[in-house]
Amino acid sequence: MEQSSPKAVAGIYAANLVEDGMVVGLGTGSTAYFAIKRLGERVADGLNISAIPTSEASAKLAKELAIKLIDFENISSIDITIDGADEIDNNFNMLKGGGGALLREKVVASITRRQICIVDNSKIVDKLGKFPLPVEVIPFGWPVVARQIEALGGNYQLRQRNISENYITDNGNYILDCNFYPIADAPKLEKDLKMIPGVVEVGLFIQMAHTLIVGNDDRTCTVKEHK
Ligand code: 5RP
């Protein structure tokens, strides 16, 4: 994807907001990729940051770019996290996990002071859920979880890596991609799903975004702050 694509424009804009000395959460996915690349350039130019990655892929990229990574033992909060989304609604609720990193992304978001959501405008929706909702589950007994998801009115697909292998997250779990569209009450659905034994995390990020940066086709960005 080129540097002038909407995803690149949003990612680069967000990376330019990072200031010296900050602790930065590194998102996962094709939009976060551009932010991490830009941060790498800025680090090479002397920017001093410490970063927490949300996936093995983002950790690998950060290491290649000589971005300093730290552990949670060393910090109690994160200044800025820059991450993508599969969907975001008008209330800044996000649906995430298309790239499979929802669990680490949510842990990182939970201690982030300013969560910056970077998207192209195809991700802005009125109602969440057209994109299948990722639910991370432990492999043991996953069909039990799946039946509970059906009981809540959804249906699911067990995510595959290829024709004969299940997709495995960085945490050793499976993902059920669920259809609850249109999600009428996202906070309630998140709670109901998290009550199912065997569910590790749900790709609904309720009120977790503080800033939304949308990359436009004309290489500009639209920036909105959550009120
Ligand atoms: C990964 C995610 C990503 O942020 C989401 O899938 C968007 O990805 P992309 O920027 O590639 O469209 O939640 O788990």
Residue 49: which of 31, 25, 33 has the closest Cα? Answer: 25
Q: Alpha-carbon distance 14 to 223, whole Å?
A: 10
Closest-CA residue, ligand 1 atom 7, reads: 85
Q: Which of 2, 41, 105, 225 is catalytic?
A: 105
**pLDDT tens, residue by residue, 18-56:** 999 999 999 999 999 999 999 999 999 999 999 999 999
Q: Is the CB of 134 under 6 A from ligand 1?
A: no
Backbone region of residue 39 per phi and psi (left: phi > 0; alpha: psi in -120 to 50; beta: other values): alpha
Ligand 1 atom closest to 33 (CA): 10
Q: How far is the CA of 217 from the centre of ligand 1 (A)?
A: 19
Rounded to a whole number of angstroms, the CA Rg of the chain reads 17
Determine contact, residues 157/176, Cβ cutoff 8 Å: yes
Concatenated DSSP letters of 210-223: SEEEEE-TTS-EEE
DSSP code, position 69: B
pLDDT of residue 132 exceeding 70: yes
Domains present along the chain, CATH in parentheses: 6-125+206-225 (3.40.50.1360), 133-197 (3.30.70.260)
**What is the predicted pLDDT for the residue at 3?**
79
pLDDT of residue 2 exceeding 90: no
Q: Tell me the pTM.
A: 0.97
Q: Is the CB of 29 under 6 A from ligand 1?
A: yes
- 177-195 average pLDDT score: 98
* Catalytic residue check, 150: no
Concatenated DSSP letters of 129-170: TSS-EEEEE-STTHHHHHHHHHHTT-EEEE-EEETTEE---T
